[in-house]
Amino acid sequence: MSNKTWPRAILHLDMDAFYVNVHILEHPEDAGRPLAIGGQPDQRGVVASASYEARKMGVRSAMPMSTAVRLCRNLKIAPANWERIRECSKQVMAILDDFGDVEQMSVDEAYVDLSEWDNPEDKVAEIRTAVKTKTALPCSVGLASSKLVAKVASDHDKPEGFTVVPPGEEAAFLAPLPTRVIWGIGPRTAEKLANLNIHTCEQLALADLGLLQGAFGNQAASLKQRARGVDGRSVEPDRGLAKSISQEWTFSQDVDDPDRLRSQLQKMAGKVAQSLQKRQLVAHTVTVKFRWADFTTFARQRSLEVGIDDADTIYAVAEAIWEEHWPPGQKMRLLGVGVSKIEAPQVRQLGFNFLD
């Protein structure tokens, strides 16, 4: 197909079971078996990635590992090799960079603008071959005229899928799929749509605008457009500064010891500070995340007049937030520290004052 029929050609590449397959590079004996990458069940670990053999048994990402081992008795658990994962990710992104502008979304996912090529479908085939040949890792790809449809297409025929949605066929491709596949539609929006008896993209595309406006206000027209595959977002090679940086820790057993909680808070503040300093950034807001033993979860934050990047200041603010909102004796399951309102520094901080 000549690129004259492609007003835009956008590829979405998604590495298949990335953490699992990176592990298999070093441990080929684990290929073909139910495998989960993540923490141990007795330490409240969660599944970061599951092999397709494990998925057939119901194991899914973000599932508590204790649930995963109940579903799959012969599940093997392995920790994530972050150094190798990052190395493999850099290899993949370097390959993509040879074909067009790349917008990396995560370690295992990216968009590539192939609009400059005469035959974008041929280039997609080249990319798949290059990734598999140079990294020995499988991937799935989707090619479409928009980011929204390209992402749905890459997930359409996993693993090692190759789905092309030619211009003009976006609405027909999306029509039978559930509304949840659409970018920006989460569980709550999908539930509200279901209450209107709207379950598929086709039903949403054909829905009465007035009916949708009653439920979603000025977002109604955008929902209808996205259900037809209309998405004007472009591939952005530089995604800009990070919006937030955070660390959190789930305790293996619920903790109410203030010294231990302060110590963990300080460690996390140090790691957040390192991330800021490495990127030569400062932050104006510090957030502390709380989770009690009964899973009650909330976050509290404070903003500062001057940007900060040092561990002592981040810890001082985080500790003040924690002391204000932690009732002594309250058992904690999880504790987190984060920063936001990030920017490149104009001047170094001389101290800090809380904003009202």
Query: Is residue 247 classed as helix, strand or coil in its secondary structure?
Result: strand
Using DSSP bridges, classify how beta strands 10-15 and 35-38 pair: parallel, antiparallel or unpaired.
Answer: unpaired
Is residue 7 packed enough to be buried (19+ CB in 10 Å), middle (13-18) or exposed (0-12)?
Answer: exposed
Q: Would you call 109 a catalytic residue per the annotation? A: yes
Look up tokens 């609405």; give the residue. Answer: 171
Pick the catalytic residue: 109, 121, 202, 319?
A: 109
Distance CA(128)–CA(18), nearest Å, equals 15
φ, ψ of residue 77 to 5 degrees: the values are -115, 135
Contact residues for 222 (Cβ-Cβ < 8 A; gap 6+)? none
Distance CA(61)–CA(291), nearest Å, equals 21
- Residue 101 near residue 144, CB atoms below 8 Å: no
Contact residues for 125 (Cβ-Cβ < 8 A; gap 6+)? 162
φ, ψ of residue 260 to 5 degrees: the values are -65, -40
Q: How many CB atoms lie within 10 A of CB 227?
A: 28
**What is the enclosing helix (H) or strand (E) of 128?**
helix 120-135
**What is the enclosing helix (H) or strand (E) of 69?**
helix 65-71
Nearest to 126 by CA among 98, 103, 89: 98
Nearest to 314 by CA among 258, 267, 252: 267
Distance CA(140)–CA(160), nearest Å, equals 4
Residue type at position 3 = N
Distance CA(120)–CA(123), nearest Å, equals 5
Active site residues: 109
